Amino acid sequence: MKAVKTSTDINLTNNALKVLEKRYLKKNEEGKVTDTPAELFRRVAAHIAKADSFYGKDESQVKVLEDVFFDLMTSLRFLPNSPTLMNAGRRLGQLSACFVLPVGDSMESIFDAVKYAAIIHKSGGGTGFSFSSLRPKGDVVGSTKGISSGPVSFMTVFDTATEAVKQGGTRRGANMGILRVDHPDILEFITCKDNNSRLNNFNISVGLTESFMTAVQQDREYELINPRTKMVTGRLKARDVFNRIVMQAWKNGEPGIIFLDRINSSNPLPALGEIESTNPCGEQPLLPYESCNLGSINLARMVSEGKVDWQRLKDTTWKAVHFLDNVIDMNRYPLKMIEETTKANRKIGLGVMGWADMLIQLRIPYNSDSAVQMAEKVMAFIQTEGRLASSALAEERGVFPNYDKSIFYGEMPVRNATITTIAPTGSLSIIAGCSSGIEPLFAVSFVRNVLEGTKMIDVNPYFEAEARALGLLTRELLEDIAAKGSVADIEELPEETRQVYITAHDITPADHIKMQAAFQKYTDNAVSKTVNFANEATVKEVEDVYVLAYKLGCKGVTVYRDGSRDEQVLSKQTSKTHEQGSAEKTDQKLTPKKRPDLIKGSTRLMKTGCGNLYVTINEDSTGRPFEVFTNIGKAGGCASSQAEAIGRLLSLALRSGVESEEIVKQLKGISCHQPSWYEGGRILSCSDAIAKALEKYHYHGRTGKGNGGAKKESTEFRYFGHIGACPECGGAVEHEGGCAVCHNCGFTRCSG
């Protein structure tokens, strides 16, 4: 008799357990967790395996398949998308992550879409919309002879509705809004998220056409078409519009772009209509009322003795395709129209995670030609085996109802209209203990918040083992790497090690695009990937990436310039204050500046006689210190309470316009009975340590006078790709895979 696997037998990290408990495991009315990870995986496996009973399998055969699916997940070789993990075998029963809803040019159609979106968000899914059918702003409304307010105005209605709906108690709604580049309101759309207080539940992308891209290349005008009348309403210079898209993406990370004609050239069901929209993260183009369930193979588990285990990858691919096809039958759909369309086309999206971990095990640098070649080889293998697995299911169960053999892979029948998708894997990769999607490592080592305000250093397990084998593993090394976010400048490490453990900001934007294009070449749907830029990147560099993505065959692009979104939020929040950053005055009373929703900063370790003191300094849009937080010892302790009090008073002073140099003068030199030595200097007290941390931040990170200048020093005091604090745990939120992810608690702003 086969032994029953328990939660302790599953190789889950502490952080994986924390994410599972917070987001996936069942809870009672008091919020207490009532099951284990093993019970969760067993429940999911049992529910999904039941679909085989619809195709003539008996109870014992279904039970065997349940064990297969259970092993597939608990071995962490494959995980389905979050709604499947959360809802399979439970009352809600909605298992898909991705939906696209049509928005027609009538009030009835618009508000039907709002209602349907609310139902989907409540069930745990994300929605994509094309607003390209809506008549432009200022156009005549025939029924009332009034004036249309245009697509952007109606997007705010969707955004407000999304804000009001909490997804299944665990997930906030996510939307994609797309407008064709030839819509008359395109210029308003491009800048609609310039103010980050608007449309916060939307990602936006401009739908670019081949004719537009040709006009850009030829530096000529293109036509704007009223979708109501189909008449030309004006012309714009294509390069000017393209430049505006690029500028906004550089400034704020949005809009992204999708190449509509390229997406439709690989549309497997052209007779059913054109694809106009994607899911919220852009990797899943869908027809109206389609949904798609996704899942990811953990490539970190597909390496044996330094080589790709192709047999294990084949076995995992076949089982994953079977699993995802079963999800279609076991899903409880939020709308009847969605159920009918989904079952008629049976699209699935099998992707990957742990790509960076696979490359590390193969000793291949992420930014090398060898990595690009391996990406093509691995994804081509998954695509081929996925189609063969789908064909085998078709022989047994029949092809999908809308199957057209004239456009599908020769004469090979298939069960699913699409098979492969590269989706973001924020929470899933934390559960699996691997790198996210096809992204490079976001950091080799970083500081994670744990209980009672204390912090721990999290380190990549492959690097930890290698550093230990080299005799170099020390806490000081890990602290140095955590501060820098990279090993590129750690001279005591061998050069080959530094090349293998490369991070997102160690590589060029072109390297990101080349990797995306390599995976796209063998992916039926699209690829979710973030192209990271350093803060000092130019607008021209963003433009070059957009052009390269077009040339290399990508279906869309998402970019993020480090710190850009924080700066944008801050600039809007502080626009009411004086240009020099002074506090507002009302009736001669000094009013501290309000704290924005998102803010960036850095944490510095200072060793004191009372223990390790972590000093976090956040800054305003001008780079001036804005607030100070401190952590030392356990919450509630004397040292902790004193340090917290100092931090609060310093924050009040900084937000009221007091110069940081004046604060340093007041605190520096205060002594206590337990001085210590750190970084070659004497730390007289916690107050002295805070002053010196503030001084180092100002001197090295901002004025450019310290040890190599501002550019080098500033990278040591902040997380790469950090877009602000996590709203749930306060950790750093990173841009990965077209999604915002907190590696501290698993929070994501996407629907994967």
Domains and CATH numbers, the chain: 98-278 (3.20.70.20), 443-502 (no CATH), 597-719 (no CATH)
**Three-class SS state of 552:** helix
Cα(682)–Cα(697) distance, integer angstroms = 17
- Predicted confidence band at 591 (pLDDT cuts at 50, 70, 90)? low
Q: What is the pLDDT of residue 464?
A: 95
Q: What is the pLDDT of residue 458?
A: 84
- Predicted confidence band at 197 (pLDDT cuts at 50, 70, 90)? confident
Distances (CA, A) of 596 to 571, 625, 626, 727: 10, 14, 11, 12
Residue 730 has pLDDT above 80, yes or no: no
- Predicted confidence band at 736 (pLDDT cuts at 50, 70, 90)? confident
DSSP string across 178-211: EEETTSTTHHHHHTTTSSTTS-TTEEEEEEE-HH
Q: What is the pLDDT of residue 689?
A: 87
- As a whole number, mean pLDDT of residues 595-602 equals 80
- Out of 31-40, 313-322, 503-512, 647-656, pick the least confident: 647-656
| 723 or 238: which leads in pLDDT | 238
Q: What is the 3-state secondary structure (H, E, C) of 462-496?
A: HHHHHHHHCCCCCHHHHHHHHHHCCCCCCCCCCHH
Cα(531)–Cα(440) distance, integer angstroms = 11
State the CB neighbour count (10 A cutoff) for residue 342: 22
Residues with catalytic roles: 279, 281, 283
Residue 707 has pLDDT above 60, yes or no: no
Q: 749 with 636: CB under 8 angstroms?
A: no
φ/ψ of 246, rounded to 5, equals: -60, -45
- As a whole number, mean pLDDT of residues 620-629 equals 80
Residue 637 has pLDDT above 90, yes or no: no
Q: What is the pLDDT of residue 704?
A: 35
Reported as type and span, the H/E element at residue 593 is none
Return contacts of 694-703, CB within 8 angstroms, 24+ apart.
694/615, 694/617, 694/625, 694/628, 694/650, 694/660, 694/663, 694/664, 694/667, 695/664, 695/668, 696/604, 697/602, 697/604, 697/617, 697/625, 698/625, 698/660, 698/661, 698/664, 701/602, 702/623, 702/624
CA 678-683-689 angle, to 5 degrees, is 100
Span 223-236, pLDDT tens digits: 999 999 999 999 99
Burial (0-12, 13-18, 19+ Cβ within 10 Å), 311: exposed
Percent of the chain with pLDDT over 70: 84
Residues 691-724: b if buried by 16+ CB within 10 A, e if exposed: bbbbbbbbbbbbeeeeeeebeebbbbbbbbbbbb
| 718 or 239: which leads in pLDDT | 239
Span 133-180, pLDDT tens digits: 999 999 988 766 778 999 999 999 999 998 888 644 555 678 999 999
Residue 714 has pLDDT above 80, yes or no: no
Q: What is the pLDDT of residue 718?
A: 33
Distances (CA, A) of 703 to 535, 660, 700: 17, 13, 6
Identify which of 292, 291, 290, 312 has the alpha carbon closest to the alpha carbon of residue 302: 312
- For 650, the token pair is 């310093």
Residue 125 has pLDDT above 80, yes or no: yes
Reported as type and span, the H/E element at residue 614 is strand 611-619
Distances (CA, A) of 217 to 180, 510, 684: 18, 20, 64
Q: 134 with 151: CB under 8 angstroms?
A: yes
| 169 or 268: which leads in pLDDT | 268
First vs last Cα of the chain: how many Å apart?
Answer: 37
Q: What is the 3-state secondary structure (H, E, C) of 271-334?
A: HHCCCCEECCCCCCEECCCCEEEEEEEEHHHCEECCEECHHHHHHHHHHHHHHHHHHHHHCCCC
Q: 341 with 115: CB under 8 angstroms?
A: no
- As a whole number, mean pLDDT of residues 541-555 equals 97
Q: What is the pLDDT of residue 50?
A: 98
Residue 433 has pLDDT above 90, yes or no: yes
- As a whole number, mean pLDDT of residues 568-577 equals 32
Percent of the chain with pLDDT over 90: 60
Cα(705)–Cα(713) distance, integer angstroms = 10
- Predicted confidence band at 619 (pLDDT cuts at 50, 70, 90)? confident
Residues 6 or more apart whose CB falls under 8 angstroms from that of 374 comprise 359, 362, 364
Q: 557 with 544: CB under 8 angstroms?
A: no
- Predicted confidence band at 585 (pLDDT cuts at 50, 70, 90)? very low
Q: 351 with 423: CB under 8 angstroms?
A: yes
Residue type, 311: Q
Cα(371)–Cα(442) distance, integer angstroms = 17
* Most confident by average pLDDT, 170-179, 248-257, 579-588: 248-257
Q: What is the pLDDT of residue 634?
A: 58
- Supply the mean pLDDT for the chain: 86
34 beta partners: none
- As a whole number, mean pLDDT of residues 97-106 equals 95
Q: What is the pLDDT of residue 305?
A: 95
Identify which of 507, 532, 523, 533 has the alpha carbon closest to the alpha carbon of residue 555: 523
- Out of 298-307, 384-393, 446-455, 639-648, pick the least confident: 446-455
Q: What is the pLDDT of residue 570?
A: 28
Residue 390 has pLDDT above 90, yes or no: yes
Q: 518: phi > 0 → left, psi -120 to 50 → alpha, else beta; which?
A: alpha
Q: What is the pLDDT of residue 747?
A: 72
Residue 479 has pLDDT above 80, yes or no: yes
Residue 489 has pLDDT above 50, yes or no: yes
Residues making up the chain, counted from first to last: 752
* Most confident by average pLDDT, 8-12, 581-585, 711-715: 8-12
- Out of 45-54, 547-556, 640-649, pick the least confident: 640-649
Q: What is the pLDDT of residue 88?
A: 96
Residue 583 has pLDDT above 60, yes or no: no
- As a whole number, mean pLDDT of residues 479-505 equals 91
Q: What is the pLDDT of residue 681?
A: 66
**Three-class SS state of 232:** strand
Residue 185 has pLDDT above 90, yes or no: yes
| 261 or 681: which leads in pLDDT | 261
- As a whole number, mean pLDDT of residues 419-431 equals 94
Span 11-25, pLDDT tens digits: 999 889 999 998 899
